[in-house]
Amino acid sequence: MAPTVRTNSLIGRTKVESVEYQPNNGEMISFRDVTNSSGFDSLGKRVIGRPGDLVELKQGKLYINSLPVSQQVIVENEDYIFFKEKFDNIEYYVQYFKNDSKWSNKDFSWGVVPDGHIFVMGDNRDKSYDSRDARLGFVPIEKVLTVMNKVKINTKQGLGSRQFNCSPYTVGDNLPYQGRC
């Protein structure tokens, strides 16, 4: 889930009751990987589409129900371009490879999210095993385990230092790999 959550980070989670859970676009969740294709029992991803939503990429830009998701280029480094995406009051960073992104300037449609399912994507868009991969596809809501509500400890890449108690839903002035969170 880089750049929001870095490898070896500690995440605060709230367990959900699958019968009552109503997903919100932009939420970070963990869910049971019933396909066993990832090599992990559970995965952490961001909810992009809810039941009844049409999920598409047009020229590499994310659309939900034919409306573009708010996306703004924030910063670039030698490897990545970082965007700020926003769903309602939830904003977060995503990253794409600067060169040879498999998703930029492409058109894809995954269709309408079926009842009882969600469409998920990782924030590291070019290196994420998520609903765009036919092996995983739409995730049954009943497989959602937790909603991630806080990055308790985030490893700062390259420096070995830690940041504490960061929200995964507001980005503020914290640029990817440069800010406090």
Does the pLDDT value for residue 108 go beyond 70? yes
Q: What is the DSSP letter of 43?
A: E
Cβ within 8 Å of residue 65, ≥6 positions away: 53, 54
Mapped onto helix, strand or coil, the DSSP state of residue 8 is: coil
Q: Are 136 and 130 in contact (CB under 8 A)?
A: yes
Does the pLDDT value for residue 129 go beyond 80? yes
Q: How is residue 26 written in tokens?
A: 């932009």
- What average pLDDT does range 95-111 have in this prediction? 76
Q: What is the DSSP letter of 24?
A: -
Does the pLDDT value for residue 50 go beyond 90? yes
Lowest-pLDDT range of 48-57, 65-74, 103-112: 103-112
Domains plus CATH for the chain? 10-166 (2.10.109.10)
Go through 64-96 and write b for each residue having 16 or more CB atoms within 10 A of its CB, e for each that does not.
Answer: beeeebeeeebeeeeebbbbbbebeebbbbbbb
pTM of the model: 0.80
- What average pLDDT does range 152-170 have in this prediction? 54
Does the pLDDT value for residue 173 go beyond 70? no
* Alpha-carbon span 119 to 108, nearest angstrom: 14
- What average pLDDT does range 22-29 have in this prediction? 89
Can you give the pLDDT at residue 46? 92
